[in-house]
Amino acid sequence: DVKVTQSSRYLVKRTGEKVFLECVQDMDHENMFWYRQDPGLGLRLIYFSYDVKMKEKGDIPEGYSVSREKKERFSLILESASTNQTSMYLCASSGSGTPYSNQPQHFGDGTRLSIL
């Protein structure tokens, strides 16, 4: 079974802090993703990566950065945390494939981040 592990289930930080959210997958997947989930808004993609050291902006990258130094690890960084970044953060990974190939994303359990 695919295992995607997020470093913290719950996290509380203060405004202005630099925050690191870590995600590790054990299935040698090429693709990794960071989402935030807010009530009524569904999942919104922040950043994704399709290879080591490669990254692409998603729909809401402002205020965030990412790092992928190793294939299995994808980090989300809040450069200077603000209260509007309080949210549930979900990491996911998937294997590479062409469209019309069954490559679902596999998710971690999520990190509930509160910025005070």
Partner 1 sequence: AQKITQTQPGMFVQEKEAVTLDCTYDTSDPSYGLFWYKQPSSGEMIFLIYQGSYDQQNATEGRYSLNFQKARKSANLVISASQLGDSAMYFCATDRGSTLGRLYFGRGTQLTVWP
Interface contacts to partner 1, rule CB under 8 A: 30-31, 33, 40-43, 45, 48, 50, 56, 58, 88, 90, 92, 94-110, 112
Residue 45 or 77 with smaller CB distance to partner 1: 45
Main-chain phi, psi angles of 86, to 5 degrees: -65, 125
Contact 89/75 with Cβ under 8 angstroms? no
Closest CA to 62 of 74, 51, 47, 83: 47
Q: What angle do CA 72, 47, 76 make, to 5 degrees?
A: 60
Residue 79 or 109 with smaller CB distance to partner 1: 109
Q: Supply the minimum distance, in Å, between the C-beta of residue 111 and partner 1.
A: 10
Q: Supply the minimum distance, in Å, between the C-beta of residue 44 and partner 1.
A: 8
Residue 81 or 90 with smaller CB distance to partner 1: 90
